[in-house]
Amino acid sequence: MLILRRKRTHHCAALRISDVGKQVYLVGWIFRRRDHGGIIFLDLRDREGFTQVTLDPQEILGLEQLHSSLKLGSCVGVWGKVIDRTSRGGSTAINHRIATGEVEVLAESADIYSVSDPLPFPLEEETDATESMRMRYRYLDLRRGPLLRNLALRSQVALETRNHFHEQGFIEVETPILTKSTPEGARDYLVPSRVNPGQFYALPQSPQLYKQLLMIGGLERYYQIARCFRDEDLRADRQPEFTQIDFEMSFFQPQDLYAVVEGLFTRVFSRVMKQEITTPFPRMTFREAMERYGEDKPDIRYGLEHIDVSDIFRGSSFRAFAQALASGGLIKAIRVPKEGERSRSWLSAIEGVAKERGAKGLVWIKIQEDQMASPILKFLTLQEQEDLRKRSGAQSGDLLLLVADESPNIVHQSMSHLRRHLARELGMIPNERFAFVWVDEFPLFEWDESKGRFDLMHHPFTMPHPEDRGRLETDPGSVRAISYDLVLNGFELGSGSLRIFDRVLQQQIFSLIGMSDEQINERFGFFLEALRYGTPPHGGMALGLDRIVMLLAGEDSLREVIAFPKTAKATCLMTSSPSTVDPIQLQELALQSLALSKTGDEP
C-alpha cells in the first residue's frame, strides 16, 4: 500500500491545449479502459472530470506488471507529459464531448493506490442499475457525475445562503438536537435517556420553540441550516431526516420577510444558476389558490385553471350536478385548448385520472363550431350551454372537463390532480422556467374528520388575523392566519408566519385544539413562562434546502441531492439500518423491546 507518491498538479478536468508539454501528476479512479495493440488508454476521473491517459510500453517501464491492477474503479496516480491528441491520432482523436478532449497525458509512471474488485454496476452518467443497488453501494454511486454535481450545487446554495443571511444582519445559532417531545403533527423520533431511566428526548421536527425563545432573548435576527427529523411516511420529496434553512425576525412586517427571502433566491439564482429572476414574486391568498388551482401549492407555469360553474347548473336536470349542489357541493371545469378531437378511449383514461383522487366521474364536453358534443348534452338547456361557453372562454376545437361532488375537497383534489396530469401529458410545462408564488392568508383551523373537531392547519404558534380573532371560539373555521407559503413550480419550499407573542392568546389556542391545562403545562409550560417577559412581535420561516436543490438540479427525488438518503421505508441499505441492538444496550437504557419479546429473542 502506497502513501501519496507526489503532490497532485492538476484536477482531471483542468488540462487544456495550452498545457501541452507540461509534466503533470494526476490522481483519480479508472473510469474506462481500452487496450489497443499493447497500448492501454485510460479515462482517469476525479471529482472534477476526465482526462485520457495513454500507457505505452515504449514510454513506461514494467507496464506488463501493471495490467492486472488497472481495473475499472481502481484508484491510481499517473506521472507524465501533456500532449496534443492530434499528434498521435490526427484530428479524429479529439473528443469534443469533454473539456479535456484536445489533450491526453502520456504516462511515464503509474502508482496503484488501491485495486478495485469488479464493480457491481457501471459508473456511467446514466445508469440502468436499480435504485436499491445504487443505495446499497452509495459510495460508488457518488462517483457518478450527476450525484457529484448535485452535491456541489447543494454546497454552493448553502454557502450563498449563509453569506446572504450574514449580510442581512442575522446571527447563526445552533439549537439542540436532543430536545423535548411536544407531539403535535408528525411523530417524533425518540431517544431514551440512560441517566434518567424511563425518560426520553425527541429529535427536533424543527427548531420552532428555540428560535422563538431566541427572539425573547433579544437576538432579533437568527438563522441556521438545521437538521430536522420526522417519523412519517415517505415519498419522493420527503425524507425522515432533512435540512431546512430556518430563520426568525423580531420587529418586522411581512413585506420585510418577503424581501429577505426574495433576496436570497435572487442571489442563489444569479451566483449559482447564472440566471436572473424577477422580483417581487406574485402573491395570492389561499382562497384564490384553491379557486384557481384547487390546491395551495399551485404550479403557475401553465394555464388549465379551474373555473367554478356551480351557479350555472343550479336547478339542472342532470342528476349528478343537482345532487352535488343540493348537498353543498361544487362543480368545476377545466378548459383544455384545441383538444376537442380526442378519442373516447383517451377521455376514458382521463376520467380514471380524476377518479384516482376521489371523483365519482368526469364529464367531457367538446366545443364545436356551432354546437357542443357530450353524453350529457341532452340534459343541458341552451342557456346552460351558452353560459358555460362564455364562463369558460371555450373556443371551437376546445375540450371542457367537469367534476361535480358533494365534497368541495374532492372536487379540488381530483381537478388539481387532473390539471397536473394534463399539463405533463400535453407537454404544457416549460421545464426550464422557475415560477415562484407566495400564498398567504391560510385558514388557521381545518376540520379533522377523524377527531370530529377543528385542528390547526399549521402549528399552534401561528398568529390569527386580528380581524378574525373574535371568532376563535364561535366560528374557528373562518379564522385566517397571518401565514405564508413559498411555492416554486408546484412544490412548497417552505412555510412561515407571524408568531403569537401574547401568553393568554397562546394558551387559548392550545385549549381550542383540545389540550387540557395539565397537558399544556407539561408540554409547553416553559414556553408560556418565557412569554411573560417582554416578548417582541416576531415571525419567521423554514425553507427546505433538500427540495430547493432538487428543483434547481432538475431532479424528481430528494434522494438525488442527498449524499446518504433513506429508502421509502426509512432504511439505509448500505449500513442495514435501522437494526437490532445488543440486549445489554437496552438494559442500560431500562428498555425492553416488545418486538423481540414476541419472537423470544430477548431475555
Confidence of residue 601 (pLDDT cuts 50, 70, 90): low
Q: Residue 482 is part of a domain; what is its CATH number?
A: 3.30.930.10
What does the radius of gyration of the chain's CA atoms come to, in whole angstroms?
A: 30
pLDDT at residue 603, rounded to an integer: 42
- Distance, CA of 472 to CA of 520 (rounded, Å): 18
Comparing C-alpha atoms, which of 36, 434, 413, 508 is closest to residue 269? 434
Mean pLDDT of the 485-499 span: 97
Residue 98 Cα to chain centre, angstroms: 31
Confidence of residue 63 (pLDDT cuts 50, 70, 90): confident
Q: Note whether 417 and 313 are same-domain residues.
A: yes
- Residue 192, preceding peptide bond in cis (omega within 30° of 0): no
304-363, pLDDT tens digit by residue? 999 999 999 998 999 999 999 999 999 999 999 999 999 999 999 999 999 999 999 999
Out of 370, 399, 425, a domain closes at 425
Q: Note whether 271 and 310 are same-domain residues.
A: no
Comparing C-alpha atoms, which of 535, 547, 541 is closest to residue 247? 541
Q: Note whether 267 and 162 are same-domain residues.
A: yes
Residue 532 lies in a domain: yes
Q: Note whether 247 and 367 are same-domain residues.
A: no
Residue 290 lies in a domain: no
Q: Note whether 347 and 418 are same-domain residues.
A: yes
402-415, pLDDT tens digit by residue? 999 999 999 999 99
Lowest mean pLDDT among 85-99, 148-162, 324-338, 548-562: 85-99
Q: Residue 362 is part of a domain; what is its CATH number?
A: 3.30.1360.30
Q: Note whether 556 and 582 are same-domain residues.
A: no
pLDDT at 602 over 90: no
Mean pLDDT of the 500-508 span: 96
Residue ranges with strand state E in 37-98: 39-45, 50-55, 75-84
Any idea which residue has 433579544 for its cell?
218
Q: Note whether 227 and 175 are same-domain residues.
A: yes
- Report CA-CA distances (Å) from 191 to 178, 186, 335, 492, 587: 8, 16, 53, 30, 14
Record the pTM: 0.92
Q: Cβ distance 528 to 510 under 8 Å?
A: no
Measured torsion, CA atoms of residues 295, 301, 302, 303, in degrees rounded to the nearest 10: 50
| Domain span including residue 32 | 17-114
Residue 123 lies in a domain: no
Q: Note whether 251 and 191 are same-domain residues.
A: yes
415-438, pLDDT tens digit by residue? 999 999 999 999 999 989 999 999
pLDDT at 89 over 80: no
Residue ranges with strand state E in 188-336: 189-192, 200-203, 221-229, 241-250, 283-285, 306-308, 330-336
251-298, pLDDT tens digit by residue? 988 899 999 999 999 999 999 999 999 999 999 999 999 999 999 999
Quote the number of domains for the chain. Answer: 4
Residue 528 lies in a domain: yes
- Report CA-CA distances (Å) from 262 to 181, 258, 276, 436: 33, 6, 12, 10
131-187, pLDDT tens digit by residue? 999 999 999 999 999 999 999 999 999 999 999 999 999 999 999 999 999 866 678
pLDDT at residue 184, rounded to an integer: 60
Comparing C-alpha atoms, which of 35, 27, 38 is closest to residue 105? 27
- Report CA-CA distances (Å) from 568 to 237, 312, 558, 559: 10, 45, 11, 10
pLDDT at residue 598, rounded to an integer: 58
29-57, pLDDT tens digit by residue? 999 999 988 899 999 999 999 999 999 98
Residue 139 lies in a domain: no
pLDDT at residue 13, rounded to an integer: 95
pLDDT at residue 370, rounded to an integer: 79
- Distance, CA of 514 to CA of 338 (rounded, Å): 52
Q: Note whether 469 and 377 are same-domain residues.
A: no
19-36, pLDDT tens digit by residue? 999 999 999 999 999 998
- Distance, CA of 267 to CA of 261 (rounded, Å): 10
- Distance, CA of 60 to CA of 179 (rounded, Å): 61
Average pLDDT of every residue of the chain: 93
Q: Note whether 158 and 280 are same-domain residues.
A: yes
Residue 70 lies in a domain: yes
Confidence of residue 393 (pLDDT cuts 50, 70, 90): very high
Q: Note whether 29 and 108 are same-domain residues.
A: yes
Most confident of 2-6, 246-250, 585-589: 246-250
pLDDT at 97 over 60: yes
Confidence of residue 2 (pLDDT cuts 50, 70, 90): low
pLDDT at residue 369, rounded to an integer: 84
pLDDT at residue 600, rounded to an integer: 53
Out of 90, 114, 138, a domain closes at 114
Residue 144 lies in a domain: no
Residue 243 lies in a domain: yes
Q: Residue 33 is part of a domain; what is its CATH number?
A: 2.40.50.140
Q: Note whether 536 and 418 are same-domain residues.
A: no
- Helix and strand numbers (H, E) in the chain are 17, 22
